Structure 1
Amino acid sequence: MSNLPAPTENYQEEDEMNAVAHDYGVGKEPVARLRMAVVGAGSRGASLARAFHACPEWELTAVCDVEIDRAGKLAAQLGDVPWFETIDELLDSVEVDTAAIATPLGALHGTTMTALRAGKHVLAEEPLADSLVRGHEMVSEAQANGLVLMTDHPHSFEPAIQKIQKLMDSGSLGEILFVEALLSEPNLLKTERDVFWDLAPGNFAILDQVLPEGLAPLEVSAFGGDPLGTGRDCVGHINFRLSNDAPVHVHVNRLSRAKTHQLLIAGTRLTMVWDGGLHKERLQVLDPCLPNQQKHFSPYCPEPEIPQLLDEDGPQLILEQQTLGRMAAELAKRIQRQRGGFPPHLPGLRVLAMLEAIARSRSIDGQASRVMAPFPEDSDPDIAGNWSQSILWSK
């Protein structure tokens, strides 16, 4: 690694990073297990339930879904935990510390507020709410009761994404030249939300974590289309600029026949390419000055060979379940006050600010719209200038 630019010379070797990643949350002082209820037993809720059920910091206490048969089926798979039809029935019947809310967007605000008003910490599905106003209302309720409200942004806990963050923080890339992100998931039946609200939150959460300034552009422009007449934009383009005038382009697509999730960040020294569709070498670091874009090194790249058949939507990779496990461990540390730093609700609010600015831009034919991004005013003052601290490798 001696050929790397100076800012990266102090980083651990790849095998050491692998050990840290696999040992995350292991070897700590034992603490009482927290009690978790999962509200929503669809594919996302089922994945969360399995992750919390397997996490040593948690005890899965109950599941809930308006489709009671689905709730019962999931509960039976996880050791016959109690299951309920409504969150009110659940809260009246079972003692829990936290609720993971994996409902459709229209029910997310009301369900989350019910849990918060009952004194429960909440992990909420992305996006945090269906409007920035409702997102702030949820945050205010949590803060007033001393509760943790965190958004379910699973890619933030993937080691390859956190390696990007670490390299960005070190200055290894040099000055950012441009950023491109692509997410396509072919599913035309998913028309309850337009493609911006459906697919963009995941990309925004990643950018909010890895960009040195977070996701806080002054303005954003967006255009999309609905060529099949589904009633919602099903393909869209989002454009904004960083403070150094570097352009950022995010493309989201429900019409593509290929499922793709990629992020490219080009700098004056190095270029990073993350491909969420790969099982191996999800992150490559390239030197544009070397012949044929030779790699400097391959950062943390787990190699899951065998998928796990976990739900009706198909297989879920072992890596994805491990990532959810890290998210569950981080939520426990937040609740137990073992982790400080940026407030965990902040990424969710910043993503909502972007989505609302996009909606305004779409309403004025793609003209730029101001982003009302919240700032970490309640962060630890020692790190307020760099609020997006690495979760996996933080001290």
Structure 2
Amino acid sequence: MEYVVAAVILLVVLVVGAAGLVVPKLRRRELPPQSKGSTTTLERPPAVPTVPEQELPPLIERPVSPAPAPPVVAEAPVVEQAPVEEAKPEIEQPAPTAGRLVRLRARLARSQNAFGRGLLTVLSRDHLEEEDWEEIEESLITADVGVEATQVIVERLRERVRILGTRTVSGVREQLAEELVAALEPDMDRSLRTTPHEGRPAVVMVVGVNGAGKTTTCGKIGRVLIADGRTVLFGAADTFRAAAAEQLSTWGERVGAETVRGPEGGDPASVAFDAVKRGIEVGVDTVLVDTAGRLQNKVGLMDELGKVKRVVEKHGPVDETLLVLDATTGQNGLEQARVFTEVVDVTGVVLTKLDGTAKGGIVIAVQRKLGIPVKLVGLGEGPDDLAPFEPAAFVEALLGADA
């Protein structure tokens, strides 16, 4: 049995071995005989002969057109352009100031209406008792006429009513208007001294506290003078407020007036001196010097203001020193006026923002207390809303047109 198994295994081995020898022969292709001396085992295709590139014919023959010649461009002559000038602002010509307060009367009347109507209502009563006269006094004091001036006005009214016995509205209105005009001292000189001197211009200094609208008022004063035929030069001596010089220059450009200015924080007296010097050189009629706003209780600043005036007066006396007062400050304006007058000898008052308060009686108080005339009044924010003060027109506006 062992022999049989061994014989079967041997037979299997022989069969497998014979198959391994036969199968490779079946897969192998019969190769052609190699030439003598050749070492290449695989057959290569015959080489394609190379033809020089220049001998190859073009694939598609196209006619070759010559390249177009570049167009001849004539060089344009170089033209020098003139420098572009900046457009100058159109120069305005303010309307003459004669009758300007009358034209602005409605604005004043709106703010003072209650004052005038209240007085007329009381005075028109059939019988005026002591309480009525006290009411009249209270109305006048509330309007900042001042206690002393109020007592004088009321006493004169009582005398006229007692003698004349007038009770009609028109009659009482006429009496009241006459007393108010008298209290405003219409004979005071309210003209602006702006006539040039021999060889030098008139000099006008504009002073005031902070916030009174001083620089704007200075620009408006320049328009008032130009409207009345004067030539003007501005001096921006407010060197402490950054926008002051620029603001004044803008006012000047509108009316064709030159502005002399200095470096920010510079010496205001030096700027004022240079402004007057420049005014002499160009021959203007009036030099307007805007000064920095200052509180009347600051001694150092007030002394500096005195220095500005002294330096300017090396060219000659200052013709006008105008104090700008805000009408809305009421009786506080009296103290301001008093201190400024002591330092720089104020010659006139410009009362601004009069259309925004019912305290128009401050005009009477300033003049009576200080003996300084109100020369100009501001009745709005427009450039020409500054008017020469006229007592009769002012009272008409206080009492109202239809009273």
Q: Into which bin does the TM-score normalised by the smaller protein fall?
A: under 0.3
Q: Which structure is higher in helix share?
A: 2
Tell me: higher relative CO, structure 1 or 2? Use CA pairs within 8 A at least 6 residues apart.
Answer: 2
Q: When the two structures are superposed, what TM-score results if normalisation uses the length of structure 1?
A: 0.26
Q: When the two structures are superposed, what TM-score results if normalisation uses the length of structure 2?
A: 0.26
